[in-house]
Amino acid sequence: MALTPSNMLPLGTKAPEFKLLDTRFNEMISFAQIKGKLGTVIMFLCNHCPYVIHVNEEIVRVANDYRVMGFGFAAISSNDVGQYPQDAPDLMKVVAEENDYTFPYLYDADQSVAKAYDAACTPDFYLFDREDKLVYRGQLDASRPGNGVPLTGTSLREAIDAILGNKKVPEPQKPSMGCNIKWK
Protein backbone atom coordinates (compact mmCIF):
# COMPACT_ATOMS: atom_id res chain seq x y z
CA MET A 1 0.00 0.00 0.00
CA ALA A 2 1.60 3.23 -1.18
CA LEU A 3 0.42 6.42 0.56
CA THR A 4 -0.72 8.62 -2.32
CA PRO A 5 -2.04 12.21 -2.32
CA SER A 6 -4.84 13.63 -4.49
CA ASN A 7 -3.86 15.12 -7.83
CA MET A 8 -5.95 18.25 -7.09
CA LEU A 9 -7.95 18.72 -10.30
CA PRO A 10 -8.13 22.47 -11.11
CA LEU A 11 -10.95 24.36 -9.41
CA GLY A 12 -13.66 25.41 -11.85
CA THR A 13 -13.39 22.17 -13.84
CA LYS A 14 -16.78 21.05 -15.14
CA ALA A 15 -17.89 17.71 -13.66
CA PRO A 16 -17.06 14.92 -16.10
CA GLU A 17 -20.18 13.03 -17.17
CA PHE A 18 -20.47 9.29 -16.65
CA LYS A 19 -22.88 6.38 -16.64
CA LEU A 20 -21.75 3.56 -14.37
CA LEU A 21 -23.12 0.43 -12.72
CA ASP A 22 -24.59 1.04 -9.25
CA THR A 23 -23.55 -2.16 -7.53
CA ARG A 24 -26.25 -1.79 -4.87
CA PHE A 25 -29.15 -2.28 -7.32
CA ASN A 26 -27.39 -3.54 -10.46
CA GLU A 27 -28.53 -0.58 -12.56
CA MET A 28 -26.76 2.09 -14.59
CA ILE A 29 -26.61 5.57 -13.03
CA SER A 30 -25.46 8.81 -14.64
CA PHE A 31 -24.02 11.98 -13.14
CA ALA A 32 -27.28 13.74 -14.04
CA GLN A 33 -29.22 11.25 -11.88
CA ILE A 34 -26.90 11.80 -8.90
CA LYS A 35 -26.67 15.57 -9.19
CA GLY A 36 -28.09 17.56 -6.29
CA LYS A 37 -29.91 20.87 -6.76
CA LEU A 38 -27.27 22.68 -4.64
CA GLY A 39 -24.19 20.58 -5.43
CA THR A 40 -22.75 17.13 -5.88
CA VAL A 41 -20.09 15.15 -4.03
CA ILE A 42 -18.20 12.47 -5.95
CA MET A 43 -16.01 10.17 -3.85
CA PHE A 44 -13.47 7.66 -5.11
CA LEU A 45 -13.46 4.72 -2.69
CA CYS A 46 -12.70 1.02 -2.70
CA ASN A 47 -13.51 -1.93 -0.46
CA HIS A 48 -10.09 -2.89 0.87
CA CYS A 49 -8.22 0.39 1.47
CA PRO A 50 -7.57 0.97 5.20
CA TYR A 51 -7.90 4.74 4.66
CA VAL A 52 -11.41 4.26 3.24
CA ILE A 53 -12.36 1.76 5.95
CA HIS A 54 -11.21 4.35 8.51
CA VAL A 55 -13.54 7.09 7.14
CA ASN A 56 -16.57 5.05 6.04
CA GLU A 57 -18.63 5.95 9.10
CA GLU A 58 -18.06 9.69 8.64
CA ILE A 59 -18.70 9.52 4.88
CA VAL A 60 -22.14 8.07 5.61
CA ARG A 61 -22.81 10.78 8.24
CA VAL A 62 -21.83 13.58 5.86
CA ALA A 63 -23.98 12.14 3.07
CA ASN A 64 -26.97 11.71 5.38
CA ASP A 65 -26.56 15.22 6.81
CA TYR A 66 -26.39 16.99 3.45
CA ARG A 67 -28.51 14.90 1.05
CA VAL A 68 -31.65 16.24 2.72
CA MET A 69 -30.40 19.79 2.07
CA GLY A 70 -30.08 19.29 -1.68
CA PHE A 71 -26.68 17.71 -2.28
CA GLY A 72 -26.15 14.61 -4.37
CA PHE A 73 -23.59 11.97 -3.39
CA ALA A 74 -21.99 9.02 -5.16
CA ALA A 75 -18.98 6.80 -4.56
CA ILE A 76 -16.96 5.27 -7.38
CA SER A 77 -14.53 2.35 -7.28
CA SER A 78 -12.09 2.24 -10.17
CA ASN A 79 -9.61 -0.39 -8.98
CA ASP A 80 -8.45 -3.20 -11.25
CA VAL A 81 -10.44 -6.17 -9.94
CA GLY A 82 -8.22 -8.59 -11.85
CA GLN A 83 -5.38 -7.74 -9.48
CA TYR A 84 -7.62 -6.79 -6.51
CA PRO A 85 -10.61 -9.16 -6.55
CA GLN A 86 -11.71 -7.90 -3.13
CA ASP A 87 -12.89 -4.73 -4.95
CA ALA A 88 -15.19 -6.61 -7.37
CA PRO A 89 -18.75 -5.31 -7.90
CA ASP A 90 -20.45 -8.16 -6.00
CA LEU A 91 -18.29 -7.34 -2.96
CA MET A 92 -18.92 -3.60 -3.43
CA LYS A 93 -22.61 -4.34 -2.89
CA VAL A 94 -21.76 -6.13 0.38
CA VAL A 95 -19.60 -3.20 1.56
CA ALA A 96 -22.38 -0.74 0.69
CA GLU A 97 -24.88 -2.78 2.73
CA GLU A 98 -22.52 -3.28 5.69
CA ASN A 99 -21.75 0.44 5.86
CA ASP A 100 -25.32 1.63 5.20
CA TYR A 101 -24.36 3.59 2.08
CA THR A 102 -27.39 5.73 1.23
CA PHE A 103 -25.73 6.81 -2.03
CA PRO A 104 -24.81 4.91 -5.21
CA TYR A 105 -21.61 2.85 -5.10
CA LEU A 106 -20.54 2.79 -8.74
CA TYR A 107 -18.12 0.52 -10.56
CA ASP A 108 -15.77 2.13 -13.10
CA ALA A 109 -14.75 -1.03 -14.96
CA ASP A 110 -12.61 0.62 -17.64
CA GLN A 111 -11.20 3.27 -15.26
CA SER A 112 -12.20 6.05 -17.67
CA VAL A 113 -14.10 7.99 -15.00
CA ALA A 114 -11.15 7.95 -12.59
CA LYS A 115 -8.98 9.26 -15.42
CA ALA A 116 -11.53 11.98 -16.31
CA TYR A 117 -11.56 13.15 -12.67
CA ASP A 118 -7.76 12.78 -12.40
CA ALA A 119 -8.38 10.65 -9.30
CA ALA A 120 -5.25 9.28 -7.68
CA CYS A 121 -6.17 7.74 -4.35
CA THR A 122 -8.88 6.30 -2.17
CA PRO A 123 -10.53 8.10 -0.56
CA ASP A 124 -10.63 11.14 -2.83
CA PHE A 125 -13.40 13.79 -2.63
CA TYR A 126 -14.76 16.21 -5.24
CA LEU A 127 -17.46 18.83 -4.58
CA PHE A 128 -19.22 20.48 -7.51
CA ASP A 129 -21.56 23.46 -7.19
CA ARG A 130 -25.06 23.75 -8.67
CA GLU A 131 -23.48 24.60 -12.05
CA ASP A 132 -21.37 21.42 -11.89
CA LYS A 133 -18.13 23.37 -11.43
CA LEU A 134 -15.48 22.01 -9.09
CA VAL A 135 -15.25 24.10 -5.91
CA TYR A 136 -13.49 21.63 -3.61
CA ARG A 137 -11.22 18.61 -3.99
CA GLY A 138 -9.15 16.92 -1.36
CA GLN A 139 -9.47 15.42 2.09
CA LEU A 140 -12.50 14.58 4.20
CA ASP A 141 -10.60 15.80 7.27
CA ALA A 142 -7.19 15.38 8.91
CA SER A 143 -7.95 11.96 10.45
CA ARG A 144 -5.90 9.02 9.19
CA PRO A 145 -5.59 5.48 10.53
CA GLY A 146 -3.52 5.57 13.70
CA ASN A 147 -2.95 9.36 13.92
CA GLY A 148 -5.42 9.87 16.79
CA VAL A 149 -7.23 12.76 15.07
CA PRO A 150 -11.00 12.30 15.44
CA LEU A 151 -13.19 11.83 12.37
CA THR A 152 -15.25 14.97 11.80
CA GLY A 153 -15.48 15.46 8.03
CA THR A 154 -14.46 19.07 8.73
CA SER A 155 -12.75 19.84 5.42
CA LEU A 156 -15.60 18.55 3.25
CA ARG A 157 -18.29 19.89 5.60
CA GLU A 158 -16.77 23.40 5.51
CA ALA A 159 -16.80 23.33 1.72
CA ILE A 160 -20.44 22.20 1.58
CA ASP A 161 -21.41 24.75 4.25
CA ALA A 162 -19.80 27.49 2.13
CA ILE A 163 -22.11 26.59 -0.75
CA LEU A 164 -25.08 26.61 1.63
CA GLY A 165 -24.08 30.07 2.86
CA ASN A 166 -23.37 31.44 -0.63
CA LYS A 167 -19.73 31.96 0.37
CA LYS A 168 -16.43 31.15 -1.29
CA VAL A 169 -15.16 27.67 -0.44
CA PRO A 170 -12.18 27.98 1.94
CA GLU A 171 -8.63 27.68 0.67
CA PRO A 172 -6.03 26.35 0.80
CA GLN A 173 -7.51 22.92 0.19
CA LYS A 174 -5.50 19.95 1.41
CA PRO A 175 -5.16 16.83 -0.72
CA SER A 176 -6.63 13.60 0.47
CA MET A 177 -4.18 10.82 1.29
CA GLY A 178 -4.77 7.13 0.87
CA CYS A 179 -4.08 4.05 -1.20
CA ASN A 180 -3.29 4.64 -4.85
CA ILE A 181 -5.91 3.66 -7.39
CA LYS A 182 -4.98 0.23 -8.71
CA TRP A 183 -4.55 0.88 -12.43
CA LYS A 184 -4.71 -1.85 -15.07
Which pLDDT score, from 0 to 100, does residue 20 have? 98
pLDDT band at 156 (very low <50, low <70, confident <90, very high): very high
For residue 172, say if its preceding peptide bond is cis, omega within 30 degrees of 0. Answer: yes
pLDDT (mean) for 83-108 = 97
Question: For 10, what's the count of Cα atoms within 13 Å in the CB-facing half-sphere?
Answer: 3
Whether the CB-CB separation of 176 and 123 falls below 8 Å is answered with yes
What pLDDT is stored for residue 171 in this prediction? 87
| Distant-in-sequence, close-in-space partners of 124: CB < 8 Å, separation ≥ 6 | 6, 43, 44, 117, 137, 176, 178
Residue 78's closest CA among 37, 40, 121?
121
User: Which residues share a beta bridge with 20?
Assistant: 29
Q: Is 183 left (phi over 0), alpha (psi -120 to 50) or beta?
A: beta
In this predicted structure, the answer to whether residue 16 has a pLDDT above a threshold of 80 is yes
The mean predicted confidence, pLDDT, of the chain is 95
Domain extent listing, the chain: 3-9+19-180
Q: What CATH number does the domain located at 3-9+19-180 have?
A: 3.40.30.10
**Average pLDDT for 95-103:** 97
